[in-house]
Amino acid sequence: AATAGSTALAPSATLQVLRSIGEDIGAVVLAVLAIVAPLLAAVLALAVVVMAVKVVVMVRRALRRRRGSGAV
């Protein structure tokens, strides 16, 4: 779901399929890691969440700067 926002503006069906496949692969890898190495899976999941939060913060700051400069 996190990647859906980044590809929502691109109407390409190919891009949507690739995004979906990427999400599925990520979910399978995380599920297998949760079984084989739960601690590693937890660390990886936490890292992904932290990166997602950082991206959201960066985008919000960029939008605020853009709005503040009157470029919207």
The whole domain housing 57 covers: 2-68
Model pLDDT, residue 71: 57
- Tokens at 34, concatenated: 């949760």
Letter string b/e over residues 31-66, b meaning 16 or more CB atoms within 10 A of that residue's CB = eebeeeeeeebeebeeeeeeeeeeeeeeeeeeeeee
Straight-line distance from the first to the last Cα atom of the chain, in angstroms, rounded to the nearest whole number: 27
> What is the tally of helices (H) and strands (E) in the chain?
3, 0
Q: Domain count of the chain?
A: 1
Per residue in 8-50, pLDDT (tens digit) is 566 688 999 999 999 999 999 999 999 999 999 999 999 999 9
Q: What is the pLDDT of residue 63?
A: 92
Q: How confident is the model at residue 68 (pLDDT cuts 50, 70, 90)?
A: confident
Q: DSSP class of residue 12?
A: -
